[in-house]
Structure 1
């Protein structure tokens, strides 16, 4: 039997495909619910993600545009535009770097922090459900 170029030496089983399909389905359900929650609070999903990454940045509650671009898996210029829109909405502000004035730090403003907290809290029941579902042996199968 011939293999496609670049295929792995071991074929995936039907169960592997079922697990992957179920995981992608549950991930999409979570993202859809998250998108709806964001819109209900007047934010786009990307604005919420930016606020979440600022609130959740390790060791501090600010980040550079480059760090945010990495977290968002976005291009630098797209992240600059997103930060600008969040600034206009009074969710964040840019400040010159503490150690390097050429680097801009993006800081949460009180309104942005409050929205991040509210929306993150609303995500918790679904996150707990997903954690339970995917920590079980044979995860990814409908009950």
Structure 2
């Protein structure tokens, strides 16, 4: 664990405040964009996380739970809601019978791609502020 600074300077607090503001703005943007597509932000994040692993087009329920920092039973319910909405499909794993894979369906892919494109500009803004916060630490 990194050692705690003995004191923090005003410009560091300003940078941290700006970061928190921009992070919350990004989260609000994401919530609003998902809602405009007729889904929740958690449904968007679930679909996004199905695409998070190189070399495959799916994720397990437990991997999604880890990415969402959520309890497994809550993610199972979220997958069920996404499945009912025609966004994803569950498939039993061919390599581990204890695992369930979550695959995007065509409707889910369309929503995900549209929302991901909308998020690109917002991500650029966040990247910029993260760099500024890093500089303020020095």
Normalising by the residue count of structure 1, what TM-score does the alignment of the two structures yield? 0.84
- Matched length: 134
Report the aligned-residue RMSD. Answer: 2.1
Give the SS at the match of 2:91: strand
Give the SS at the match of 1:135: helix
| Greater CA drift, 103-112 or 44-53 | 103-112
Match among 10, 21, 27 for residue 23 of structure 2: 27
Counterpart of 1:47? 43
> Is the Cα contact below 8 Å between 2:15 and 2:132 reproduced in 1?
no
Runs of at least 5 residues in structure 1 that lack an aligned partner in the other structure: 1-6
Higher relative contact order (CA 8 A, sep 6+): 2
Counterpart of 1:97? 93
Larger Rg: 1
> Is the Cα contact below 8 Å between 2:12 and 2:133 reproduced in 1?
no
**Runs of 4+ in structure 1 over 3 Å off:** 132-140
> Is the Cα contact below 8 Å between 1:133 and 1:139 reproduced in 2?
no
Per-residue deviation at 1:13?
Answer: 1.8
Runs of at least 5 residues in structure 2 that lack an aligned partner in the other structure: none
Normalising by the residue count of structure 2, what TM-score does the alignment of the two structures yield? 0.87
> Is the Cα contact below 8 Å between 1:30 and 1:126 reproduced in 2?
yes
